[in-house]
Structure 1
Amino acid sequence: MHSPAHRSYKHLQLLLFAFGIVVIATTAAESSSRPSIRAQFTAAEMFSIPIGEARRAGIAPRRLSGITVPHHLLAAGLIAQAFQAVESGRIKKVIVLFPDHFKRSSLPFATTDRPFDTVFGRVESSLPDVRTLLGARRLVGRSDLFERDHGIGAIVPFIRHYLPDARIIPIAVALRSQQADWDQLVAVLHSIVTEETLVVQSTDFSHYLPLEQATQRDQEVLNILASGDIASVARLRQPQHMDSRGSQYLQMRIQRDFFRSRPLAVYNSDSHAYADGRDGLTTTYIVQLYETDPPAQIGQDLPGSKVYCFAGDTLFGRGLLRILSTRDEQERFFRDARRVLNGCRLIVNLTGVVVPELPLKLEPMMLAMPSILTLEALKAINVVGVSLANNHTMDLGPASFDLMRRILSDVNIATMTHGEIVDFGGFRLTALTDLDNQSLRTEGVIGPDDIARLAASHAKPPLFAMVNWGTDYVNRPGPRQIELRSELRQSAVSLVIGVHPHSAASALDLLDGGGGISVHSLGNFIFDQTSRVASGSFLEVRVFEHGTYFARLVPHLNFFEAALQQR
């Protein structure tokens, strides 16, 4: 005979078994009772051709938590390249955010539990997560809008191909929805988003504008993305900036709150690039990747864009001479820098005077560097330009300054003096200094005439300014820098790059509501100060053929201190 405890255990097993049968039967019944949404696009080559091209492009998979892609199949290649970058093995479910193009939803958001048919097979919805969404009854409603909206129809074939085992949570975002609605949905998503979730934002950007206006609107969006200023997304205009502010806001909130991830814009193009001619109105595309803990390394050139980098104070004299005294030490030093720079075209603030031979006596605050070592170093790290607009390049007088310019020009390194504008192809760059050691002025060197000359230059946009300003070891702007960057923005400068304070700023600042962007200080690049007082970051600027750019800060180690520790 069995004991009462054993009989209770067997009874529990039978109940669980029966419950399992009920669950399976219920799920099967639900599946059979949910008619699939027919494929909107039935020509397989519309997807297989760009998928094949993306595969052959050799795009390395990354641990992405989100991507932003177009839904115009004119740009199907951009969609495929973004999905190709996803490390797909860990993704179990996909949230798809897209605009309710035809205004079918009566609530701020709509969803469906129906599966989607595609040319590659069926994509199932994540039923428990859809139920969770529908539980927010005044926020999310069930709708059949998914049958015809290309915002989802153009994306599900790519999901089926790249993530065949994933289930989706489709969310249509009403065009009239507001920030309060978006914030409420983020709260609901707390019980849905996991580490195995990919958020796909299906969004096209500026709509039906002449190319020049479209480029301006895209740059405003790119600046907001670069700054991470999520609240500014709500102030953008539909469809002049994008077709779904809500989708962009939700993507950035989800990525920040759940994955601590920031947007990285890797492609910016327009419909003219896929059709003959450049006349008429255009629609634009911005592809974004979201990666948790991305490597501290500069990105590489991609089709349609080139990468430039800006670095802070750079000196190959004084204390650097001691740690770069042998060829082995030099090679080890520059190998560390090259590993981070990844071959980008580098522009630095050259702090001091390049001379054929160092003077026998130099006062402590007079900076000079030997030309042989300096030129070898600049070549080793792919420096293409230097700013000479700072408070140390005149330390040895005008004659030495002029000689330095000739030395650098002879090896094809562009030099920028105070107020000079140099054309780098994808952008124009001017250099300015607000400090002057000769007159002992710690601010106020940049005057109204300098600003007026910039405004009158009519330099082709985008125009950048590298500005030597600020107080030593203070990495935030003061009243003088805030005033200056505003004046520069009004003079058509869209990117202000600060140098001199030795301590790197931690973030990019939005200017003029998105019309421009600024970093107060890049700190030190190669300079004889340790991390006790100094820090440094590169500013990576991806310049698109579209006429726009995307900037991001990449903190780097203290190369001087690292070399000291290796001795």
Structure 2
Amino acid sequence: MKLFNRNLNQKLNKNCNKFLICLVMFVLTGILTNSAPITYKEPDRIAYDIDARVFIDIKQINKSVTQYMEPIQGGLVPHHHVAHSMIGEFYETLEKEVDLIMLIGPNHSGKGSRYQAVGSSYMTHYGQVLPSSLFGQLLSDDDVVKADEVMLRGEHSVGIHMNFIKAYYENTPVLTLLVHETGGIHGVDRFVEKIKHLIGEKNVIIIGSVDFSHDLSLENANQKDQLTKEILRNKSYKRLFSLNNDYMDSPTTAYLTIMLLKEMGFEHQVLLKEGNSALILNRPSMKATTSYLVYGYGK
């Protein structure tokens, strides 16, 4: 009987404890609900692959007028860290007093929708690069989705430029678009018109992040580059879509960039610089090189 009573008391105590815990939780919930709303703070959105190997000495930056008759309003520039000095020289030539920077680059993974807008900020050596408020409006286009955060962690085509953008442009917002090569030229001109309408009268620079011939010997790369330069020199821009990775890694990036600049009235084309990883690294016998063509567009 004593054993029975002890077990009964233990069960009653256990049930009583459960009741008290539930009562306390109920009371606390009521207090919290009545005293202040529970809010959710969105974490900082930091995207990821700025190339830590590329460090710009901000004290050495020349923000004076470009050597050309008119400022360059945008163009094509590499995203390979080996060409970092060429990238820096490109930023030296650009118009500096702008409302917005649009950065277009290839989605090397090829995953997801053809057009992906980046809504994340980037942390650089000099602080945070913030996305443009136009990001949301760009997403209203049925062909554009928000860029996948996992993919962004390894996408150097735009990441490498963030250090340069922050160093040269401080607090200017950036509208970043990633593209990949599906569908050829189909629908691209319509998309150019959409972006031009979105930009409106803002003073914008357009940066197309493109590397040219890939994984070829220096001799073969030079041959491929000659054809690419001929296409660009003749302004036969639709022919870019006939080129594969032997010639360039993103015809869509190049075409979008050039057509947007043309729509804005910047058609004068200058080949600012050209090079190859084999020459920069002083390894002319390299079997797999990358070539770089830097084009600027102005009036």
Is TM > 0.5 for Structure 1 vs Structure 2?
yes
TM-score range relative to shorter protein: 0.7 to 0.9
Give the counterpart letter for 2:296 in structure 1: L
Counterpart check, 1:141 vs 2:145: yes
- TM-score, length of structure 1 as denominator length: 0.43
Q: CA deviation at 1:125?
A: 0.5
CA distance 1:228–1:35, change in 2 (3 Å):
same
Matched residue, 2:231: 224
The number of equivalent residue pairs is 256
1:247 is matched with: 253
Structure 1 residue runs of 4+, over 4 Å off? 29-34, 51-54, 56-59
Confirm or deny: 8 A CA contact 1:107 1:141 kept in the other structure. yes
The reply on whether 1:35 has 2:59 as its aligned counterpart is: no
CA contact (8 A) 2:66 2:94 kept: no
Partners of 2:154 and 2:184 lie apart in 1 by: 24
Secondary structure of the 2:275 match is strand
Residue-by-residue CA offset, 1:460-505 (whole Å, 9 max, x unaligned): xxxxxxxxxxxxxxxxxxxxxxxxxxxxxxxxxxxxxxxxxxxxxx
Equivalent residue of 1:188, what SS? helix
Higher relative contact order (CA 8 A, sep 6+): 2
> Is 1:270 the equivalent of 2:280?
no
Report deviation, 1:212. 1.5
8 Å CA contact retained: 2:48, 2:152: no
Q: Report the residue type matching 2:126 in the other structure.
A: F
**Contact 1:39/1:119, CA 8 A, preserved across alignment:** no
Call closer, same or farther: CA 1:114–1:188 in 2, change over 3 Å: same
Alignment of 1:92 with 2:99, yes or no, is yes
The yes-or-no answer on 1:47 pairing with 2:51 is: no
Residue of structure 2 aligned with 1:123, choices 110, 116, 129: 129
CA deviation after TM superposition for structure 1 residue 135, in Å: 0.7
Partner amino acid, structure 2, of 1:87: E
Bigger helix fraction: 2
Q: Deviations over 1:316-349 (max 9, x none)?
A: xxxxxxxxxxxxxxxxxxxxxxxxxxxxxxxxxx
The aligned residue for residue 196 of structure 1 is 203
Q: Which runs of 5+ in 2 are unaligned?
A: 1-38
One of 150, 159, 168 as aligned partner of 1:153: 159
Q: Tell me the secondary structure at the aligned position of residue 52 of structure 2.
A: coil
Instruction: Please give the secondary structure, in 2, of the residue aligned with 1:179.
Output: coil
**Identity across matched positions, percent:** 21
For the 8 Å contact 1:114–1:124, the answer to whether it is kept is yes
Offset at residue 95 of structure 1 (A): 0.9
Q: Please report how far the alpha carbon of residue 78 of structure 1 lies from its aligned counterpart in structure 2 after TM superposition.
A: 0.4
Task: Summarize the Cα distance change of 1:228–1:117 in structure 2 as closer, same or farther, 3 Å threshold.
Answer: same
* CA RMSD, Structure 1 to Structure 2 (Å): 2.4
Q: How does 1:512-527 map to 2 (within 5 A)?
A: none
Deviation, structure 1 residue 269: 0.5
Distance in 1, matches of 2:48 and 2:42, equals 15
1:158-205, CA deviations, whole angstroms, 9 ceiling, x for partnerless residues? 011111121111110112242113223212102223451000011100
The answer to whether the Cα contact below 8 Å between 2:63 and 2:168 also exists between their aligned partners in 1 is no
The CA distance in 2 between the partners of 1:214 and 1:265, in whole Å, is 17
Partner amino acid for 2:260? I
Contact kept? 1:38, 1:118, Cα under 8 Å: no
Q: Which amino acid aligns with 2:179?
A: V
Matched residues in 2 for 1:37 and 1:210: separation?
34
Deviation at 1:123, TM superposition (A): 0.6
Change over 3 Å in CA distance of 1:30–1:221 after alignment to 2 = farther
Unaligned stretches of 5+ in structure 1?
A: 1-28, 293-567
Counterpart in the other structure of 1:176: 182
